[in-house]
């Protein structure tokens, strides 16, 4: 009997289903995201029932103590930055989703990882629904990723891919990309939410059954019929975002969800003609062109498990328009507006008629409030046109009454600063009092922004 089909409209960004087209999704608030899809009318409850009956026979709980963990449950991708972001290698049987803007280097990263995995563990299947085999080969030659054990497949039907893959001996599977593959079980076009969800579920089951890691590449643009991988984030084990400014050669791999490791860990890469190169010392590249002019301050932020030093630049100039311009890149817009207000009210610096620009060098995005003090220092330094001390690192959170609040992991930040060769540090007073270790730095503690402004003026 043919299944009964039903037409619905589904939000392509969150999967919300509506019987008629609507302009704004009531669930996630996305505009113009509804696309007509065909689903089986009776599907959900009936499918669940058959699945339940099927699995009921082989349900067999086991005591937690009887499960053995071996060290080899993680595979090394041979790229240490990627391994670290994954939490020390990729876990067998897990599903890793790597999302990122078009052309950022997703295929490059995974092809390099595929090559390493193939060299170390044996056969790895790389499935591409986007590029022809020759195109992949061209890239592979450029990257020098031509191990014998890389198997390439240009195929988009999930059932075909998995039929072949489950019979063979494989150590990892890469799917480039989840938007281009489709399963016969969902009726809508490839790239739609229901296709992506069904296909991903199949890959998850495959990974768990076979005990090998599966990498899925996903596009994040929300235009046209392509759904963002956000709907997948709940299903998969690990979600990594590959980001970076087109203007820079640096790429940052960030983990936003990880069932087997810390989140917000970052890996830094440089894109070159021969592929992605790991940057082992990110502080050095973010500071490499650091200028000694006014308006530049160096801060130390914690990204995942390590501290990174980076430069924050500010430019304060008299405004020619009635409405002064405020433009902040790499820092939280609301947060910097708040800091400007604190500077005006508590620091008595009149910025009302000034254009203010703030930029984090190197395309890094800082979300930590510990950068407050450096942002303020950069603004004051530019406003007064006084350069800060050479080799000075500044960090601390600023409160609304102009007080400097303590932050976490001071020692780790100071350690990185002295390793890079910094000479001075300005940190919250309360952090200085609690400091246990000795550092090769002249450290000053500040309790309010007025103390900071005084130091900058001296
Ligand atoms: N010869 C080259 N020299 C330097 N960089 C190159 C060269 N060829 C490609 N690149 C870099 O590789 C990037 C493309 O990488 P890749 O194809 O892995 O991206 P992607 O994220 O998979 O893109 P898509 O979303 O289109 O699949 C380009 O944007 C460019 O920066
Ligand atoms: Mg690609």
- Assess whether 123 and 272 both reside in one domain: yes
Q: Does 59 reside within a domain?
A: no
Cβ–Cβ under 8 Å, residues 207 and 93: yes
Statement to judge: residues 293 and 385 lie in one domain:
yes
Same domain, 138 and 32: no
Do the domain assignments include residue 57? no
Same domain, 232 and 377: no
Residue nearest to atom 28 of ligand 1 (CA): 103
How does pLDDT run along the chain (458 residues), one tens digit per residue?
566 778 889 887 777 889 999 999 888 888 888 888 887 765 555 666 666 666 666 778 888 888 777 656 899 999 999 999 999 999 999 999 998 888 889 999 999 999 999 999 999 999 999 899 999 999 999 999 989 999 999 999 999 999 999 888 999 999 998 989 999 888 788 878 888 888 999 999 999 989 999 999 988 755 433 355 566 788 889 999 888 777 778 888 988 889 988 887 888 899 999 999 998 888 877 777 777 789 999 999 988 778 889 999 999 999 888 889 999 999 999 999 999 999 999 999 999 889 999 999 877 888 899 999 999 999 999 999 999 988 899 999 999 999 999 999 999 999 999 988 899 999 999 999 998 888 889 999 999 999 999 998 87
Token pair recorded at residue 177: 């990309």
CB contact at 8 A, 254 and 241: yes
Residues 194, 291, single domain; the answer is no
Nearest CA to ligand 1 atom 4: 273
Final residue belonging to a domain, choices 280, 307, 342? 280
Give which of 404, 418, 348, 353 is closest to 375, Cα–Cα.
Answer: 404
158 C-alpha vs ligand 1 centroid, how far in Å?
25
How far apart CA 425 and CA 431 sit, in angstroms, is 12
Expressed in angstroms and rounded, the spacing between residue 130 Cα and the centre of ligand 1 is 13
Neighbours of 256 (CB within 10 A): 14
User: What's the CA-to-centroid distance between 103 and ligand 1, angstroms?
Assistant: 5
Q: What spacing in Å lies between the alpha carbon of 101 and ligand 1's midpoint?
A: 11
Write the CATH number for 206: 3.40.50.300
CA distance 400 to 327: 21
Binding site, annotated residues for ATP? 100-107
In this structure, are 289 and 337 located in the same domain? yes
Domain presence at residue 404: yes
Ligand 1: residue of 99, 100, 103 to mutate (most ligand atoms within 8 A of CB) is 103
For residue 67, tell me if it sits in a domain. Answer: no
Counting from 1 in the atom list of ligand 1, the atom nearest the Cα of 131 is: 27
Q: In angstroms, rounded to a whole number, what is the distance separating the alpha carbons of residues 116 and 324?
A: 53
Which residue range is the domain that position 20 belongs to? Answer: 5-42
Atom of ligand 1 nearest to the CA of 102: 25
As for ligand 1, residues whose beta carbon falls within 6 Å of it are 100, 102-108, 130, 219, 271-273
* For the CA of 142, the nearest atom of ligand 1: 1
Coil, strand, or helix at residue 23?
coil
Which atom of ligand 1 lies nearest, measured to the CA of 242?
21
Q: Which of 100, 108, 247 to mutate to test the pocket of ligand 1 (most atoms within 8 A of CB)?
A: 108
Residues 305 and 202 in one domain: no
Both tokens of 295, joined, read 């308006």
Residue by residue, DSSP assigns 75-102 as E--S-HHHHHHTTSSEETT-EEEEEE-T
What's the total number of domains in the chain? 3
Sign of the alpha-carbon dihedral angle for 130, 133, 134, 136: positive
Give the distance from CA 441 to its chain's centroid. 32
Q: What is the rounded CA–CA span in Å between residue 156 and residue 127?
A: 8
Q: Is residue 54 one of the residues assigned to a domain?
A: no
């Amino acid at each position: 009997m043919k299944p009964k089909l039903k037409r619905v409209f589904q939000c392509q960004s969150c999967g919300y289903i509506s019987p008629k087209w609507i302009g704004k999704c009531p669930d996630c608030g996305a505009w113009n995201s509804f696309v007509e899809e065909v689903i089986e009318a009776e599907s959900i409850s009936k499918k669940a029932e058959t699945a339940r009956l099927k699995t009921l026979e082989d349900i067999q709980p086991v005591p937690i103590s009887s499960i053995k963990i071996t060290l080899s449950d993680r595979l090394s991708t041979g790229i240490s930055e990627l391994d670290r972001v994954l939490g020390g290698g990729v876990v067998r049987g897990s599903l890793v989703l790597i999302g990122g803007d078009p052309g950022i280097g997703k295929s490059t990263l995974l092809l390099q990882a595929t090559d390493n995995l193939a060299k170390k563990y044996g056969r790895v299947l790389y499935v591409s629904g986007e590029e022809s085999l020759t195109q992949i080969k061209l890239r592979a030659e450029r990257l020098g990723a031509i191990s014998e054990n890389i198997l390439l497949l240009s195929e988009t039907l999930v059932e075909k891919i998995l039929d072949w893959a489950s019979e063979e001996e494989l150590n990892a599977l890469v799917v480039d990309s989840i938007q281009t593959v489709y399963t016969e079980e969902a009726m809508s076009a490839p790239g739609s939410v229901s296709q992506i969800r069904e296909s991903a579920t199949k890959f998850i089951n495959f990974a768990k059954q076979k005990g090998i890691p599966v990498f899925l590449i996903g596009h994040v643009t929300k235009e046209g019929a392509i759904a963002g991988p956000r709907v997948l984030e709940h299903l998969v084990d690990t979600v990594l975002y590959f980001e970076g400014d087109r203007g820079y050669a640096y790429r940052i791999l960030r983990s936003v969800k990880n069932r087997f490791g810390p989140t917000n860990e970052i890996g830094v890469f440089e894109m070159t003609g021969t592929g992605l190169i790991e940057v082992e010392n990110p502080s050095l590249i973010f500071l490499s062109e650091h200028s000694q002019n006014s308006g530049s301050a160096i801060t130390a932020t914690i990204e995942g498990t390590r501290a990174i030093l980076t430069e924050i630049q500010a430019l304060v100039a008299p405004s020619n328009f009635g409405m002064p311009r405020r433009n902040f890149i790499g820092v939280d817009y609301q947060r910097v507006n708040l800091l400007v207000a604190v500077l005006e009210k508590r620091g008595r610096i009149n910025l009302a008629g000034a254009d203010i620009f703030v930029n984090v060098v190197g395309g890094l995005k800082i979300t930590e409030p510990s950068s407050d003090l450096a942002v303020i220092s950069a603004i004051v330094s530019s406003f007064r046109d006084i350069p800060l001390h050479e080799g000075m690192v500044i960090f601390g959170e600023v409160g609304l009454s102009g007080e400097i609040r303590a932050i976490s992991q001071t020692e780790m930040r100071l350690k990185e600063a002295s390793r890079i060769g910094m000479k001075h540090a300005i940190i919250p007073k309360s952090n200085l009092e609690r400091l246990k270790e000795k550092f090769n730095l002249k450290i000053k503690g500040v309790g309010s922004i007025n103390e900071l402004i005084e130091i900058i003026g001296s």
